[in-house]
Amino acid sequence: MFHVLEKELQWRRSTGRPEGFETMKKCKPIVAVGPEHSLEDECLMADYFHGLDGLHNVHEAHPHLSPSETWKSLFQSGSESPVDAAASSPFFTPSKEPAHKEILRILRENPVDSVSICAVGPLTNVAMAAAEDPEAFLRVKELVVMGGAVNVEGNITPVAEFNCYADAVAAARVYALTSYEPAATMPPVPQRLSTLPPYPAKLSRQLKLTLAPLDITTPHLIPKGFFAERIQPHVDAGSPLATWVSHFVMGAFGQIEKMEGDAKEPGLSMHDPLTVWYMLTHDDARWKFPAKLEDVRVETSGQWTRGMHVVDNRPLVKPAEVAALASLDPRNDPSVVAVDGVSGDTSGWLSVLKGNRVNRLVESPGQDDFKDVWMKRVFA
């Protein structure tokens, strides 16, 4: 991507166009490599839909937009690469540290509640960071997650969304940090088999997690005709970025047509861009959430339901809910502890202390407008 952006800015300069991407120039991001495998589950790929390279094989179709193989050495620990890392790209800094360690370093080196994390893939890196140093990880202001299907069908199985299905254990571990008692919703992986340790019994605070599930991301569509009409002038003008993006987005439309038939115009759900849009505009009052935090849990051991997001829709009363809302510290408040829990509720669904406490996006500033916002922000 950075290689393509470098070519794009060269093209814009040569044609007298405004370069754009000013934030990227001012805030050079760090790029770190994560693990190749999920925590406990088998490796899951989406190459059936996105191609072997994840971008509908754009590197074969447009080799001039692909970087040389020397980039790999930038991330290899202890490598004696002739490539100068500082000069490798004007737009990013490569790290030889694993991604989860970079997450922790940034959180430690910055004030509490000054760093937010946007996760638009499986939560493996995030779970590893949280396990290695839970207190350092909880310095995060907000973790925004694209994942899950709460009240709608899944996109990889009938009930699961791809990111959470790909590493259900990681998702369950991360969500558990939103609970007053994380152990209550941790995945039931035997300690002798688990790759990560349990959390400490007492943590200083809970994780603030905002979920962008398929419920809200799927309806934010960009239709094939709209995209083709808007992107083609940029492609015809010679934009490397438009050429690159057009290839894999049109490839996605082709896959959708194969899967759903051609009875209607295909639309591509903008799952990740919508999540990033929230990060950029979260102060906009038009973003809507449920009236209260939700106990959303991740199924990790079901044969057919792995990755499913489970919520309790039964019209039952939580005995300690009113007291907890009025308390500054529900975990240590006798008025909460004394009435929390119901006989027979072994999973803690009716407990305000044991359940997860997840915030969830339910409405955006403009479902029909987002496709225009995205096109203008990227291709301007």
CATH code of 317's domain: 3.90.245.10
Strand 142-146, strand 209-212: pairing: parallel
* Helices and strands, counts by H and E, the chain: 16, 10
- pLDDT lower than 70: segments of the chain: 42-54, 56-73, 78-88, 190-193
What is the pLDDT, as a whole number, of residue 82? 43
Give yes or no for a contact between 91 and 85, defined as CB atoms under 8 angstroms apart. no
Give the number of other CB atoms < 10 A from CB of residue 262: 9
User: In the numeric block, which tokens belong to residue 225?
Assistant: 């005709």
How many angstroms separate the Cα of 116 from the Cα of each of 110, 207, 276, 359, 380? 11, 11, 12, 15, 26
| Residue 18 resides in a domain | no
What is the pLDDT, as a whole number, of residue 75? 76
| Residue 349 resides in a domain | yes
How far apart are alpha carbons 83 and 235 in whole angstroms? 32
What is the pLDDT, as a whole number, of residue 71? 63
What is the pLDDT, as a whole number, of residue 83? 43
Domain total in the chain? 1
| Residue 243 resides in a domain | no
What is the pLDDT, as a whole number, of residue 70? 59
How far apart are alpha carbons 97 and 113 in whole angstroms? 23
| Coarse DSSP helix, strand, coil percentages of the chain, rounded to the nearest 5 percent | 40, 10, 50
| Residue 322 resides in a domain | yes
pTM (predicted TM-score): 0.91
Contacts of 260 (CB under 8 A, 6+ apart): 266
Give yes or no for a contact between 286 and 373, defined as CB atoms under 8 angstroms apart. no
| Residue 84 resides in a domain | no
What is the pLDDT, as a whole number, of residue 79? 56
Task: Give the max Cα distance, the chain.
Answer: 72
How many angstroms separate the Cα of 178 from the Cα of each of 33, 132, 345, 355? 26, 17, 20, 8
How far apart are alpha carbons 174 and 60 in whole angstroms? 37
| Residue 158 resides in a domain | yes
What is the pLDDT, as a whole number, of residue 293? 97
Contacts of 380 (CB under 8 A, 6+ apart): 18, 20
| Residue 242 resides in a domain | no
Here the contacts of 279-286 (C-beta below 8 Å, separation 24 or greater) are 279/116, 279/118, 279/144, 281/365, 284/365, 286/363, 286/364, 286/365, 286/366
Location of structure tokens 């419920």: 215
Domain ranges, residue 149: 32-65+97-218+285-360
Give yes or no for a contact between 177 and 338, defined as CB atoms under 8 angstroms apart. no
How far apart are alpha carbons 277 and 216 in whole angstroms? 12
The predicted-structure confidence for 155-201, as pLDDT tens digits, reads as follows 999 999 999 999 999 999 999 999 999 999 999 876 666 789 999 99
| Residue 142 resides in a domain | yes
Q: Does an H or E element contain 325, and which? A: helix 321-325
How far apart are alpha carbons 111 and 107 in whole angstroms? 8
User: In the numeric block, which tokens belong to residue 266?
Assistant: 């295909």
What is the pLDDT, as a whole number, of residue 91? 85
